């Protein structure tokens, strides 16, 4: 097993203001459209129809978009307040936030990982997804994120198909000044086993396991993932099993079907959204909240190593409708 390390400095800004601003900018196009609808002093049926069309185009889905506008209309009738744009904006924000709250992880990751650290338990995390979703880049960002929470992190190179995969992972290891565990074996499961054993020996806190990109309908590659999961379970049987899927936010509703297919094949425990800074399809999150209960853990929104934030329904809901997030 070859280990490569390097010492480089990096910076990290986890302030709430930075999180708010990054997500706010990502949702600018959708927010502008929503604000145009609610610019009038009085919101009528035609305006709600305009909103429904905007939601559909943002990949919310026709059925759910209709349900949301119907819910707004109902709440407007039940309130004694005026039906102006400002009031309707707040109603829409509350509806969006209620739906996105379904996707919040009930498990406090930092507390859970701290408990494992105190008990000297390695936390192996299997990272999966389709080709081009940004898995390896996300692993580099996660490594930086967890390091800044005072966890020791190592990376496992288990993508034995793509020649450049290891080089890319090593580059991220150098940026984070952490160890990248490689193996000479061609079996990804065996490589994962070796990485876990090495990490346990060095008392590493978190091991991020990179895998080859694959489509969920590729039976052979999915069976390979199942094998990797079995090996992880046997190699470290004291920790909760974590398999996180990386999803390109630009795929919109296709992301929902990707998650469903992967979930059928393997037990997905968390979702990481990538390329959020370029998406015009944030509405798919509302669709996801109606179909899945897999928590969204992180949102990647840029190229920098620090461009990853916790999933926050308040910030996203505010970014869509254009109001200031509460408690910020």
pLDDT tens per residue across span 253-291: 888 888 988 988 888 999 999 998 877 789 999 999 988
- Sequence ranges of the chain with CATH classification 1.20.120: 16-103
Spatial strand order of the sheet with 153-158 comes to 3-4, 179-181, 153-158, 206-211, 123-128, 242-248, 270-274, 296-300, 308-310
d(CA 161, CA 182): 13
Q: Are 255 and 248 in contact (CB under 8 A)?
A: yes
Judged on CB neighbours under 10 Å (0-12, 13-18, 19+), 149 is middle
d(CA 132, CA 43): 42
**What pLDDT is recorded for position 280?**
79
d(CA 108, CA 322): 28
Q: Are 292 and 263 in contact (CB under 8 A)?
A: yes
Confidence band, pLDDT 50/70/90 cuts, at residue 208: very high
The CA–CA distances, whole Å, from 100 to 66, 89, 124, 299 equal 17, 16, 27, 13
Give the single-character DSSP code of 102.
G
pLDDT higher than threshold 50 for residue 310: yes
Torsion of CA 215, 300, 304, 174, to 10 degrees: -60
d(CA 27, CA 34): 11
Q: What residues pair up with 210 in beta bridges, in sequence order?
A: 127, 157
pLDDT tens, position by position, 171-201: 999 999 999 999 888 899 999 999 999 999 9
Supply φ then ψ for residue 136, to 5 degrees.
-65, -40
Confidence band, pLDDT 50/70/90 cuts, at residue 220: confident
Global pTM reads 0.88
- CATH superfamily of the domain spanning 107-311: P-loop containing nucleotide triphosphate hydrolases (3.40.50.300)
- Sequence ranges of the chain with CATH classification 3.40.50.300: 107-311
pLDDT tens, position by position, 147-156: 999 999 999 9
> What is the CA angle 9-128-172, rounded to 5?
15
Element (H, E) at 181: strand 179-181
pLDDT higher than threshold 90 for residue 207: yes
d(CA 212, CA 229): 14
Quick one: tokens of 223? 């069976």
| CATH fold label, 16-103 | 1.20.120
């Amino acid at each position: 097993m070859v280990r490569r390390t390097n010492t480089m400095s990096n910076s990290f800004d986890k302030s709430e203001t930075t999180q708010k601003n990054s997500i706010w900018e990502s949702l600018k196009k959708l927010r502008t459209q929503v604000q145009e609808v609610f610019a009038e002093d009085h919101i009528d049926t035609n305006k709600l129809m305009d909103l429904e069309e905007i939601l559909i185009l943002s990949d919310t889905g026709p059925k759910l978009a209709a349900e949301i506008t119907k819910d707004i209309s109902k709440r407007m009738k039940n309130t004694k307040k005026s039906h102006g744009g400002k009031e309707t904006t707040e109603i829409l924000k509350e509806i969006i936030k209620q739906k996105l709250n379904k996707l919040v992880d009930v498990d406090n990751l930092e507390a859970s990982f701290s408990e494992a650290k105190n008990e000297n338990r390695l936390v192996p995390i299997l990272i999966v997804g389709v080709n081009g979703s940004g898995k390896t880049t996300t692993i580099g960002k996660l490594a930086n994120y967890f390091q800044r929470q005072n966890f020791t992190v190592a990376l496992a190179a288990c993508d034995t198909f793509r020649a450049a995969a290891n080089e890319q992972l090593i580059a991220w290891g150098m940026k984070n000044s952490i160890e990248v565990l490689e193996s000479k074996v061609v079996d990804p499961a065996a490589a994962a086993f070796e990485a876990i054993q090495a990490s346990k020996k060095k008392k590493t806190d978190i091991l991020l396991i990179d895998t080859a990109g694959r489509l969920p309908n590729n039976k052979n590659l999915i069976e390979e993932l199942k094998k990797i999961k079995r090996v992880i379970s046997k190699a470290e049987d004291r920790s909760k099993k974590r398999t996180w899927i990386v999803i390109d936010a630009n795929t919109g509703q296709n992301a929902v079907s990707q998650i469903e297919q992967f979930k059928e094949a393997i037990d997905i425990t968390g979702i990481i959204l990538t390329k959020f800074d370029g998406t015009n399809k944030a509405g798919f999150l509302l669709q996801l909240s109606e179909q899945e209960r897999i928590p969204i853990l992180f949102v990647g929104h840029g190229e920098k190593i620090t461009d990853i934030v916790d999933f926050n329904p308040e910030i996203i809901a505010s970014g869509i409708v254009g109001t200031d997030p509460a408690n910020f």
